[in-house]
Amino acid sequence: MRRFRALLSSSFGSPDRSQYKDADASSETLLADQQPNEAHESEKEDVMSTDQKQQNGKILRIQIALGAWMVISFCCILYIVLSLTDTIDIRNGFPNPKDISKPASDMKVLLIIPTFTPHFPQVLAMLHSMACLITDISHINISIILSSTAELDALQTLLSSPLASPCTPTYLSYNTTHSAHLTYPPQLTLHNLYDILPPSIQNLTSPNDTSSLVAAYGKYKYQSVKKLAAAAYFEYDYGIWLDSEGLVVRPVEFREMVREWVSEPVIWTELQGEGSPRRNEWVVRINEGCARVLGRTMESFGTGVSFWQGYTWIIEKATVMDMVNSPSRFDPDTDFFTRLLNAKSDIFEVVMYKIHIAGRKREQSSNNSTLYTKYRVLDMQETLIDFGLEAAYKLIPPKFDIISERFPHLILASSLQDLLVQFVKEYKFFFMCFHSGYLSLIPREVLQSFMRKAPVAMTVSDASGLEKEVIPEGMGTWNMTYA
């Protein structure tokens, strides 16, 4: 830089007098017809012309040097920006994010199911339905996450009980000869939560019983830690988070179902702005808390946006690790799980996962990778209306805040049933929140017709009424069809 300034100074400062002296020495003879003053003027013009050429040459060299310097500077800045981008992605676990899509037969799928003693009857019923109706169950790994060694031993005893009944060839009126000998899934493993926790959280509890975390941080954070610690710890391509109360309702190949969902995955949102009848302040706080753990703000997604929607909780290992390894700009020196426990609100792991995807999708919108760009982020209400289901949507009472939790209300619009089934297929609603109370709300023939045609693989809530009454009435006609 000093050389550059010196060059500018010598170029634009006063001319060197020695240049004029040399020029005078070269003009000793005048033309015979020139007057002395004319000769002197001619000599000055020659001297100035020579000096001007030299000065112009220097200016040209400076311009060339300056242009080269600007090009080099631009290249350096571009290199730094790209290097920083790569550094950020490497820090987050993705120097070059890639979609790891595989054929269904090669896909490694893991079911992650946290549970505890009061829910053992429900989780045993769900596991039994999986053994009977998941047609590729021998290829599906299932991890049950328990709070203590005592819970682990108790559940293991129940699973080993000789009193448990096998599937039989006609479980729920389906042809289940392929699984008639099974009682529970063969690839089932029980885990004490402590064994899969990161060291930062292990230091907060005891190896034999992690329930102290519930008292210290609340049940929702504890449940989120169970699911997220397992998602980060185990190896798989795609995982599914499930609660204890689920039930498989028809024969289904899970790897093919996951493959279908991953082909066009959707992250659902719902507007819960100020004054909206569906606004739930607790849900709002959870969204804000999850966003902050990730170093984001909900305002960046738009006013009143909520990521609560949807019950198809399919996760991707690469995405989970990116989320867990990403530092927060609000607290860059604190690890992910500690930030989660220290959040000022309750935390829902699936909300956090969706917020992460929506944020990273925008950040990588120009990236060729489909790890995030393959997702669509859609508003539930807007999409239902655009699909022609406004009349069905209006059957959900305004006081209910979460559309997907009240989705069975849409089934009441029997005249729109075919359109609703097409919506479920289009957006791959393979899991549904269905409480037993809907059995008295929806006419039996309407419900039977919908469940026969819609590709609902599982319920994710207590649906004991379906198991005892509605499914057997279908006489094995509930097939899994994606198109």
Produce one character per residue of 144-159: b if its CB has 16 or more CB atoms within 10 Å, e if not: bbbbbeebbeebeeeb
In this predicted structure, the answer to whether residue 279 has a pLDDT above a threshold of 50 is yes
How many Cβ atoms from other residues are within 10 Å of residue 104's Cβ?
Answer: 17
Residues 295-308, mean pLDDT to the nearest whole number: 93
Read off the pLDDT of each residue in 3-20 and give the average, rounded to a whole number. Answer: 42
Same domain flag for 125 and 213: yes
Q: Average pLDDT, stretch 442-450?
A: 96
Query: Confidence class of residue 79 from pLDDT cuts 50, 70 and 90?
Result: very low
> Which tens digit of pLDDT belongs to each residue from 183-239?
999 999 999 999 999 999 999 999 999 999 999 999 999 999 999 999 999 999 999
Query: Which has more confidence, 436 or 182?
Result: 182
> Do 333 and 395 have their domain in common?
no
Residue 101 pLDDT: 57
Domain-embedded: residue 209: yes
Whole-Å CA distances, 183 to 47, 124, 128, 179, 451: 107, 10, 6, 8, 25
* pLDDT value, residue 62: 77
Q: What is the mean pLDDT of residues 115-131?
A: 97
Give residue 377's pLDDT: 95
Task: Indicate the number of domains in the chain.
Answer: 3
- Average pLDDT for residues 169-173, to the nearest whole number? 97
Residue 45 counted as domain residue: no
* The pLDDT of residue 25 is above 60: no
Q: Are residues 271 and 311 in the same domain?
A: yes
The pLDDT score that the predictor gives to residue 294 is: 97
Q: Is the dihedral of CA 330, 335, 336, 337 positive or negative?
A: negative
Do 443 and 354 lie in one domain? The reply is: no
Indicate whether 286 pLDDT > 80: yes
For residue 278, the model assigns a pLDDT of 78
Q: What is the pLDDT of residues 250-270, one digit of tens each?
A: 999 999 999 999 999 999 999
* Residue finishing a domain among 213, 244, 275: 244
Give the Cα separation of 47 and 26 in Å (integer).
10
Q: What are phi and psi of 23, to 5 degrees?
A: -65, -40
Residue 370 domain boundaries? 265-386
Q: Is residue 483 part of a domain?
A: yes
Tell me the pLDDT tens digit for each residue of 359-381.
Answer: 999 887 656 578 899 999 999 99
Kindly give the residue spans of alpha helices, DSSP state H, lying in 92-160.
120-133, 149-159
The predicted structure's pLDDT at residue 2: 42
Report yes or no on 35 lying in a domain: no
Last residue of a domain, one of 342, 362, 386: 386
Report the percent of the chain where pLDDT is more than 70: 81
Nearest to 231 by CA among 97, 109, 112: 112
Looking at the fold, whether 396 and 456 belong to one and the same domain comes out as yes
Residue predicted with more confidence, 15 or 425: 425
Same domain, 475 and 465: yes
Closest CA to 473 of 452, 459, 443, 442: 452
Please indicate, yes or no, whether residues 114 and 197 belong to a single structural domain of this protein: yes
pLDDT at residue 87 is higher than 60: no
* pLDDT value for 77: 62
Is 16 a domain residue?
Answer: no
Do residues 130 and 224 share a domain? Answer: yes
Residue 56 makes CB contacts below 8 A (sequence gap 6+) with: none
Beta strands in 235-343, from DSSP E residues, in sequence order: 238-241, 247-248, 266-271, 305-306, 314-316
Condensed to tens digits (0 to 9), the pLDDT of residues 287-299 reads 999 999 999 999 9
Among the candidates 386, 421, 437, a domain finishes at 386
Q: Mean pLDDT check: name the lowest of 122-126, 337-341, 404-408.
A: 404-408
Does 471 lie in the same domain as 403? yes
pLDDT tens, residue by residue, 41-53: 555 455 556 667 6
Q: Are 346 and 334 in contact (CB under 8 A)?
A: no
Given this model, what pLDDT does residue 93 score?
A: 42
Q: What pLDDT is recorded for position 60?
A: 74
Cα–Cα distance for residue pair 194/347, rounded to 1 Å:
20
Do 155 and 208 have their domain in common? yes
Q: Is the per-residue pLDDT at 75 higher than 70?
A: no
Cβ burial, residue 470 (10 Å; 0-12/13-18/19+): buried
- In this structure, what DSSP letter does residue 173 have? G
- Beta bridge partners, 191, equal 145
pLDDT mean over 126-143 = 98
**Average per-residue pLDDT for the chain:** 85
Other Cβ atoms closer than 10 A to 42? 14
- State residue 459's pLDDT score: 94
Comparing 35-49, 102-116, 404-418, which segment has the lowest mean pLDDT?
35-49
Q: Give residue 67's pLDDT band: very low, low, confident or very high (50, 70, 90).
A: confident
Task: State how far the alpha carbon of 215 is from the alpha carbons of 194, 212, 341, 391, in Å.
Answer: 16, 5, 12, 45
Closest by Cα among 460, 483, 186 to 312: 460
Overall average pLDDT of the 340-347 stretch: 97
Which is more confidently placed, 186 or 303?
Answer: 186
Inform me whether the pLDDT recorded for 38 exceeds 60: no
Residues 371 and 302 grouped into a single domain:
yes
Is 310 a domain residue? yes
pLDDT grade for 72, boundaries at 50, 70 and 90? confident
Query: Would residue 78 count as lying in a domain?
Result: no
The answer to whether 237 and 99 have CB atoms below 8 angstroms apart is: no
Contacts of 237 (CB under 8 A, 6+ apart): 100, 102, 107, 108, 109, 316, 317
- Provide the pLDDT confidence category of residue 401 given band limits of 50, 70 and 90: confident
Read off the tokens for 378.
């859609």
**Stretch among 99-113, 146-160, 190-204, 408-422 having the lowest mean pLDDT:** 99-113
Side-by-side strand order, sheet with 376-379: 305-306, 266-271, 376-379
Decide the pairing of beta strands 431-432 and 458-459.
parallel
Looking at per-residue confidence, does 76 or 137 come out higher? 137
- Quote the CA–CA distance of 429 and 74 in Å, as a whole number: 49
> What pLDDT is stored for residue 330 in this prediction?
94
381 and 399 both lie in a single domain: no
The pLDDT of 27-36, averaged and rounded, is 42
pLDDT at 15: 42
Q: Is residue 47 part of a domain?
A: no
User: What is the reported pLDDT for 426?
Assistant: 97
The percent of residues above 90 in pLDDT, for the chain, comes to 67
Burial label, 279 (beta-carbon count in 10 A; 0-12, 13-18, 19+):
middle
Average pLDDT (271-278) is 80
